[in-house]
Structure 1
Amino acid sequence: MARYIGPKSKIARKFNEPIFGPDKVLEKKNYPPGQHGSSKRRAKKSEYAVQLAEKQKAKYTYGVLEKQFALTFDKASRKQGVTGEMLLKFLEARLDNTVYRLGIASTRAAARQLIGHKHITVNGKLVNIPSYSLKAGDVIGVREKSKSLEAITTSLSANRVSKYNWLEWNKSEMQGTLLALPERDQIPENIKEHLIVELYSK
């Protein structure tokens, strides 16, 4: 499956945000990448450029490529509710994102790898599709044979799940439950979803 595998620090600097996690380069060079660095005078962005950049930021954050992102937006636009908020809810409900939120993987990219290698179950059944869409009540677990995997145990030791009150984690069973799709104010990502909606509305 195609995924972005280019320089991550460069993308983080482009948006001036730690999209792929903590980044020391971003702290040292808090200006966009480019031949002339921070000294280059940058023209004011057009409305379209601002909207496009916001979509790109969301795509990089959740690790979704163009076609899949467009399909997710289309699904959100057909649902009752605010389209931008529904878009983020559907992105949050992806299996790879939820595995990351539960702390089973340290990054979304690592979560996709665990899922692809068949280490993750949903309601007791192996699922190897990172984009699998979860529903409220679904139970996400670590396959029995994979519970001692170093990558998983190391990530779980950080215990991030307490930060997300739409998820519940059972430490002894090494499984979590999606209690509900998160509300917009619960999602920590700095994404201006209304700009994405405006872009697709053109």
Structure 2
Amino acid sequence: MARYTGSVCRQCRREGLKLYLKGERCYTEKCAVDRRAYAPGQHGQRRRGKVSEYGLQLREKQKARRTYGVLESQFHKYFKEADRRKGITGENLLQILESRLDNVVYRMGFALSRPEARQLVKHGHFTVNGRKVDIPSYQVRPDDVVAVREASRDKGRFKDLAELMRTQGTMEWVNVDRENLAGKVLRLPTREEIDIPIAEHLIVELYSR
């Protein structure tokens, strides 16, 4: 399966904002966006001209893709699914992205970043409703229970997780049992609860061209 293997800090610099892809590093002075607030590459420091309407739409799509770690073909598939659903297409798209298992693991506080959550899921450390799931794109639904596998709880990353999670906040659409390293999806998030600076209407306009 294809995946991005380059520097994730370059992705943040290209979008001009923190996408929080490096976990704790993003909150320190080592963050690449804070140190080099310009696009990567030899022409990154050139003064930017006026961005076209298409350019604005493209940047919003790329920002969403990179935030959630989704490749182009998969993102397009999500958009078509969002367009089929009732309601506002842009909000449906964000709800689908938020419902990915790797994102839910991140939102529940079991990982410090989405890339880390994706890796932990791939390695089979989580169950959904008691069954092991190692597919990061798995769509979690309301009332699903996501938990760290019993066999994984004594391993390095999870030994002190309960203590670490006490210092972290969680979203209102999930309920987390920190002691038992489990969480329940109460409902799909509303647009106001998705704290991603994305203008989703521009993505809809891009795919409607």
Common fold by TM > 0.5:
yes
- Match among 86, 92, 113 for residue 92 of structure 2: 86
Q: Does 1:130 align with 2:136?
A: yes
**Aligned AA (1:7):** S
**Whole-angstrom distance in 1 between the partners of 2:103 and 2:133:** 14
Residue range with higher mean Cα deviation, 156-165 or 145-154: 156-165
Percent identity between matched residues is 46
Shift of residue 43, structure 1, vs aligned partner: 1.9
Shift of residue 3, structure 1, vs aligned partner: 1.8
Shift of residue 199, structure 1, vs aligned partner: 0.2
SS of equivalent residue, structure 2 residue 60: helix
**Whole-angstrom distance in 2 between the partners of 1:13 and 1:6:** 13
Q: Please give the residue correspondences for 1:11-30 in structure 2 after superposition, counting only pairs within 5 Å.
A: 11-19=11-19, 20-21=21-22, 22=26, 24-30=31-37
Shift of residue 152, structure 1, vs aligned partner: 3.0
Q: Please give the residue correspondences for 1:115-154 in structure 2 after superposition, counting only pairs within 5 Å.
A: 115-154=121-160
Equivalent residue, structure 2, for 1:167: 174
Is the 1:104–1:111 Cα contact (8 Å) retained in structure 2?
A: yes
**Aligned AA (1:14):** R
SS of equivalent residue, structure 1 residue 27: helix
TM-score (norm 1): 0.93
Is the 1:161–1:168 Cα contact (8 Å) retained in structure 2?
A: no
Gaps of 5+ in 2: none
SS of equivalent residue, structure 2 residue 17: coil
Shift of residue 149, structure 1, vs aligned partner: 2.2
**Alpha-carbon deviations, 1:84-120, whole Å to 9, x = none?**
0010001000001001111111211111111111111
- Match among 82, 96, 107 for residue 102 of structure 2: 96
Shift of residue 37, structure 1, vs aligned partner: 4.5
**CA-atom RMSD in angstroms:** 1.6
Is the 1:103–1:156 Cα contact (8 Å) retained in structure 2?
A: no
Gaps of 5+ in 1: none
TM-score (norm 2): 0.90
Q: 1:108 to 1:156 in 2, by over 3 A?
A: farther
Q: 1:123 to 1:193 in 2, by over 3 A?
A: same
Equivalent residue, structure 2, for 1:193: 200
Shift of residue 24, structure 1, vs aligned partner: 1.7
SS of equivalent residue, structure 1 residue 176: strand
Residue range with higher mean Cα deviation, 24-33 or 61-70: 24-33
Is the 1:120–1:141 Cα contact (8 Å) retained in structure 2?
A: yes
